Chains A and B, each alone.
Chain A
Amino acid sequence: MSYLISGARVVDPQVDLDRVAGVLVGDDGRIAAIDPSDDEVRAADPVVIDGHGQVLVPGLFDMHVHFRDPGQEYKETIAGGVRAAAKGGYTDVATMPNTTPVCDTGTVVTYQLQKAAEANLARVHPIGALTMGERGEQLAEIGDMVQAGACAFSDDGHGVQYAGIMRTVMDYVKQFDRVVISHCQDDSLVGKGVVNEGVVSTRLGLAGWPAQGEEIHIDRDIQLSELTGCAFHAAHVTTAAGVEMVRAAKERGDDVTCEVCPHHLFLCEDDITDAYDTNFKMNPPLRTAEDARALREALCDGTIDCLVSDHAPHATHEKQVEFERAPFGIVGLETELPLVLTHLVNPGLMTWQRLVEVTAVNPRRRCRLDPVRIEVGGEATLTLVNPHDPFTVTEDFLAGSAHNTPFIGARLDGRASHAFVCGHAILMDGKVAC
């Protein structure tokens, strides 16, 4: 199938592109022409997609999602997860390894890639565990997983508690040219914390999760990255001070990057009320309004490299319990782009170029994937975004299996309308391809 996306503003800072242009997608899954001639269009006989008023960008990549497969398929499956991704306009995702069993061998990587190929929607790039079982004790079979196709390594969901183990991990991972993604959490400080330590923990009588429990690990792992020379990426940073550490490391020339989630940008601890809504429980927790402001600035100014959802599906009954007993995490793939459009891009706080960098360019570079560029001959992995298509987030809008998000009911400005993976349509007119 060939497609002509006509009349859209095409934005790709990798090739210095920002103008209204027609993009012809060939049936070989590559970009056949930009501003094709009438002859080229006639020859291709494409399905025409009216892109007027919309913005065409390289396919979006979310490098931090949880698809629960294998082992917790009642929460979500890879097949369901890639539907959520497609709905959100994401052509690629990287899945965290805290499945059951943990993705700590090439066998699990192979299984996940196979399930994703069967689903044939968004592409899945498995992230392997740093340590066996994510227990933080013994190296996982990193080389085996690299050969099977793991794109990065992380013990996400758990902090690696011992600096010595983390040093070993980084020394070992470095030889494979992969990034170590660190879930920064010092358990001796965090304990049973479920919300930010401070006003909200005091007000609600909940155990506090202090910012320093995260920042101490960010600082530690930056230093270990300097010691070992291993590329380091801080997962879901939540505090102004944590961002400052990353900024300083970058100024020193370290191979250090970080990511942020929409909920940490657009919500804060004050949103957790005495309703004890468990859809506001995530790890790391919502921080202060000042932290959220600093994160928004850092995402726009280039300090934060990637936007990720930390998409964390849970079954309804699991979240319908007491706050302290509920699992951490919310789903976010479907609402991630709309939130950033509404709160950053449309108000003019973030350029489209910057949006493409944090959602497509930087995550691919960090996960050692080939770049996706909008150029003739390049793979036709594209997302068409309608920034002015107002809608209300409802459970029906969510395409994955889970509905645990605090953004149900939110009025948002716009969303992805179409998405293509190598010329294969996974989202058409806002609907996920079957």
Chain B
Amino acid sequence: MLSVRNLINTPSLTRDDIRQILDTAATFEQVNSRTIKKLPTLRGRTIVNLFLEPSTRTKSSFELACKRLGADTLSVAGSSSSVVKGESLVDTVLTLDAMNVDMFICRAKYAGSPEIIARTTGARVINAGDGKHAHPTQALLDLYTMRKRFGRLEGLRVGIVGDSLHSRVVGSLVPALRTVGAEVTLVGPATFLPAAPEALGATSCARIDDVLGDLDVVYMLRVQNERLDGAAIPSVREYAALYGLDARRAARMRPEAVVMHPGPVNRGVELTSEVADSPRALILNQVNAGVSVRMAAIYLLLGGESDVVSD
């Protein structure tokens, strides 16, 4: 049993919660490698995938996770929902809730939306990314991927490179890493760093070359083109030169160090193809872990205990 009703963000998770989710995900990973991947575990349960802003990767991953657990799913997208007709989030949720659903999985443009849903409904809520705030299942699948590679999380040194200020991943990944005893440095120009990295439990550094040789995990964030309007960086070209991970830079990493990325990758900007496709890169491992970790979170929140696959 987890200590939380909903998965809104990682600071509310205990170390034991995280361990339970990762251990359960490991069991589901076995299931996901079978020919028949579907379990009857959540048969008859209804899950709403409420995606109020566009998402392909996260939405697909959650949908597969729900389906493989045998739940009935209902997808409500921002573009087709009444939200665009001016209905408030509260009313949208009340309407769906009146149809007796067990869980809301929500991706939203605005920070705090999952909290509003949790206050509005008796159903369980998983945050699939809210504004620039949090993306807890991404953080958990990242932890899963790191643990699988290194066999541990405690003591790992993680550098997160790029636009931390506008990243919902950072808001969840840093606290989760701190909870399990890893160290985190945010790397990027000050225009890309949050005002108070220490509030998340991270240190910060402007130059990637100052920390690269010490890191176990180099976690590259996507440069979002829409952020360039505010002149946070002068050009993609300069950013790639100062912060991009190419083969020359990657050669200075520790031998066992890995490269991770929440996707989608801007090849040639934060990562060159040489690095993105190298054995160091765990990018597809992350995607693969995503389904298992999301299955674990859904399963545990909907009241599952151990003995997941005793079918």
Residues of B within 8 A of A274 (CB): 8-9, 11, 112, 115
User: A276 to B116, Cβ gap below 8 A?
Assistant: yes
The answer, yes or no, to whether A163 is at the interface (CB within 8 Å) is: no
The answer, yes or no, to whether B78 is at the interface (CB within 8 Å) is: no
Interface centre among B89, B108, B199 (most CB of A within 10 A): B199
Residues of B within 8 A of A317 (CB): 88
User: A320 to B115, Cβ gap below 8 A?
Assistant: no
Contact of A322 among B111, B196, B200 (CB under 8 A): B111
Contact of A205 among B90, B116, B133, B196 (CB under 8 A): B133
Interface mask (B165-197 → A, CB under 8 Å = 1, otherwise 0): 000100100000000000000000000001111
Give the residue name and chain of the B residue nearest to A278 (CB): B112
Q: How far is the CA of A200 from the CA of B196 in the complex (A)?
A: 8
Residues of B within 8 A of A210 (CB): 195
User: A322 to B195, Cβ gap below 8 A?
Assistant: no
Residues of A within 8 A of B9 (CB): 274
User: B168 to A205, Cβ gap below 8 A?
Assistant: yes
User: B112 to A322, Cβ gap below 8 A?
Assistant: yes
Residues of B within 8 A of A197 (CB): 195
The answer, yes or no, to whether B291 is at the interface (CB within 8 Å) is: no
User: B194 to A322, Cβ gap below 8 A?
Assistant: no
Residues of A within 8 A of B90 (CB): 320-321
User: A276 to B195, Cβ gap below 8 A?
Assistant: no
Residues of A within 8 A of B168 (CB): 205
Contact of A202 among B88, B131, B197 (CB under 8 A): B197
Give the residue name and chain of the B residue nearest to A325 (CB): B110
The answer, yes or no, to whether A393 is at the interface (CB within 8 Å) is: no
User: A206 to B132, Cβ gap below 8 A?
Assistant: yes
Give the residue name and chain of the A residue nearest to B120 (CB): A320
The answer, yes or no, to whether B113 is at the interface (CB within 8 Å) is: yes
Contact-size category for B: 20 to 34
Q: How far is the CA of A209 from the CA of B159 in the complex (A)?
A: 27
User: A202 to B196, Cβ gap below 8 A?
Assistant: yes
User: A201 to B195, Cβ gap below 8 A?
Assistant: yes
The answer, yes or no, to whether B250 is at the interface (CB within 8 Å) is: no
Residues of A within 8 A of B196 (CB): 198-199, 201-203
The answer, yes or no, to whether A397 is at the interface (CB within 8 Å) is: no
A60 to chain B, nearest CB (A): 36
Q: How far is the CA of A205 from the CA of B134 in the complex (A)?
A: 7
Q: How far is the CA of A322 from the CA of B89 in the complex (A)?
A: 8
Give the residue name and chain of the A residue nearest to B132 (CB): A205
B166 to chain A, nearest CB (A): 9
Residues of A within 8 A of B199 (CB): 198-200, 202-203
Residues of B within 8 A of A325 (CB): 110
The answer, yes or no, to whether A275 is at the interface (CB within 8 Å) is: yes
Residues of B within 8 A of A204 (CB): 111-112, 133
Contact of A276 among B11, B112, B197, B200 (CB under 8 A): B112
User: B195 to A323, Cβ gap below 8 A?
Assistant: no
The answer, yes or no, to whether A208 is at the interface (CB within 8 Å) is: yes
User: A198 to B195, Cβ gap below 8 A?
Assistant: yes
The answer, yes or no, to whether A324 is at the interface (CB within 8 Å) is: yes
Residues of A within 8 A of B131 (CB): 205-206, 322, 324
Q: How far is the CA of A198 from the CA of B193 in the complex (A)?
A: 11
B174 to chain A, nearest CB (A): 10
Beta-carbon contacts under 8 Å, B123-165 to A: 130-134
A197 to chain B, nearest CB (A): 5
Give the residue name and chain of the B residue nearest to A207 (CB): B132
Residues of B within 8 A of A276 (CB): 111-112, 115-116
User: A322 to B108, Cβ gap below 8 A?
Assistant: yes
User: A323 to B111, Cβ gap below 8 A?
Assistant: yes
Beta-carbon contacts under 8 Å, B84-117 to A: 88-90, 108, 110-113, 115-116
Q: Could you write out 20 A-B pairs with CB less than 8 Å apart?
A: A191-B230, A198-B195, A198-B196, A198-B199, A200-B199, A201-B194, A201-B196, A202-B195, A202-B196, A202-B200, A203-B200, A205-B111, A205-B132, A205-B171, A206-B131, A210-B195, A275-B115, A276-B115, A320-B88, A323-B110
7 A-B pairs with the lowest CB-CB distances in the bound complex, closest first: A276-B112, A205-B133, A322-B110, A202-B194, A205-B132, A199-B199, A202-B196
